[in-house]
Amino acid sequence: MSPELLGFGSLGLVLLLIAVRMPIGVALGVVSFIGFTLLRNERVALAMMAQTPFEVAANWGLSAIPMFILMGTIAHASGISEALFRAARLWLSGLPGGLAVATNFASAGFAAASGSSVATAATMGRLAIPAMLNAGYTPSLAAGVVASAGTLGALIPPSIMFVIYGVFAEVSITKLLIAGVIPGILTAFVYAVMIIGRCVLDPKIAPPNHSEIAKRELWQARWQSLLPVWPLLVLIFGIIGGLYGGIFTPTEAGAAGAFLSVVIAATQRRLTPDVIRASVMETIKTTAQLFFVAYGAVMYTRFLALVGLPDMMAGMMGDWALDPVLLLIGISLIYVVLGMFLDPLGVLLLTLPIVQPMFEALDLDQIWLGVIVVKYIEIGLLTPPVGFNAYVVKNVVGDKIPLHTIFKGIGWFLACELVIMALLLGFPQLSLWLPNSMG
């Protein structure tokens, strides 16, 4: 069997193993072990299996991940999610669909503290969905906005997905994190415009707020609601500003963020021994899950490099003189389809060794590719049949909202994603202006 045929066959075997519910890290590791055994021998395969975990864990860039996760878990334990939602609710309640708009922007704020789409959707789902249902909002809108706005966790810094992409693509993690700022804000803004437009055209889906509170008391409550939120805002903008100004490396930013989140929780008297224990254990658990997938992905990437599959596909791109537009369309289709069935990290690590050489062959910007890939991966969290964020919301609401109703609500936000992706693909500077302006 030729090496190229073995490489293509390995892709099919990986997808088959994932389809039968084998964990993706195990599937990648098993296929890699078989591949190295066939290409070389069993001793080489065992050596690769022995050295890969140490090499991955020793990568300095990946050390930012547990810091960002710890920052998010402690920030959540400090009650910041409740404070964010209350402040957004008070300030935006006068808009059509004000609760849904508030949920959207509160999710963006919490995403900047957690770096996780799933954590954002789960946390805001517990807070916002009951409030919207009690206010008479349709279940599809209530569930759809929570599931969709949760995806902002992968774009707005600190983004764990950008850290992983930067390490494996060997590009600047700092520039990737900064590149996600404008696309993240753009996504939240387009979502908000859609929500307001729908509620103006069909007020029944989000009944207007008829609060009896006096105007003076409302403004007083609004300003008071900012008091428990401002430390987190300082933390978020401090980290983004530090990265942009070159003061922090991503790892230093993660450490500073984790430390400051501890300080914030302590000043709010919520840093109990139970909170510390639960935050540390959640950080260890999530980091271990991510790294286990990374072990299998690194082995598989090296196997593909050994068979020459990435170079061969990059050469095919050069031979065909493929138009960049056609490449972007092809990549879009690949990520949308894979996102329907695979988890986000698996999609990223499985496709990156194939897609990146194609971009390099056409001299396209790798930072821009990172934004596009991460954005498509997050869209995959919304698309059926898997749509992981939809199942997260379903787990939160139980039997109150059927799964098909959740996907129905998400459909409006997927329509927004068509607009957002058209803008990001058509105007690369939306992603590249901030990182290119860095010193």
Confidence class for position 201, pLDDT limits 50, 70, 90: very high
pLDDT over 80 (residue 185)? yes
What is the Cα–Cα distance from 129 to 82, expressed in whole angstroms?
Answer: 13
Percent of the chain with pLDDT over 90: 25
Confidence class for position 425, pLDDT limits 50, 70, 90: very high
DSSP letter at 30? H
pLDDT over 70 (residue 224)? yes
- Within 10 angstroms of residue 96's Cβ, the number of other Cβ atoms is 19
What is the Cα–Cα distance from 439 to 437, expressed in whole angstroms?
Answer: 6
State residue 435's pLDDT score.
93
State residue 321's pLDDT score.
44
- What total number of domains does the chain contain? 1
Handedness of CA 383, 389, 394, 400 (dihedral sign): negative
pLDDT over 60 (residue 366)? yes
Q: Which range has highest mean pLDDT (64-73, 91-100, 310-319, 333-342)?
A: 91-100
List for the chain the helix, strand, coil content (%; round to 5): 80, 0, 20
Q: What is the identity of the amino acid at 49?
A: M
Helix axes 117-134, 139-149, angle to 10 degrees: 160
Distances (CA, A) of 146 to 102, 117, 356, 357: 11, 10, 32, 36
Secondary structure class of 209 (helix, strand, coil): coil
Q: What is the pLDDT of residues 256-286, one digit of tens each?
A: 888 888 888 888 787 888 888 888 898 888 8
Q: What is the pTM of this model?
A: 0.84
> Phi/psi at 130 (nearest 5 deg)?
-60, -40
- Within 10 angstroms of residue 120's Cβ, the number of other Cβ atoms is 33
What is the Cα–Cα distance from 192 to 95, expressed in whole angstroms?
Answer: 10
State residue 283's pLDDT score.
87
Q: In whole numbers, what is the pLDDT of the chain averaged over residues?
A: 84
pLDDT over 70 (residue 213)? no
Q: Domain of 396?
A: 3-436
Query: Integer distance in angstroms from the first to the last C-alpha of the chain?
Result: 50
Mean pLDDT over 364-374 rounds to 91
Q: What is the pLDDT of residues 175-184, one digit of tens each?
A: 999 999 999 9
Mean pLDDT over 360-370 rounds to 86
What does the chain come to in residues?
439
Please answer whether residues 194 and 416 qualify as being in contact, where contact means their C-beta atoms are separated by less than 8 angstroms: yes
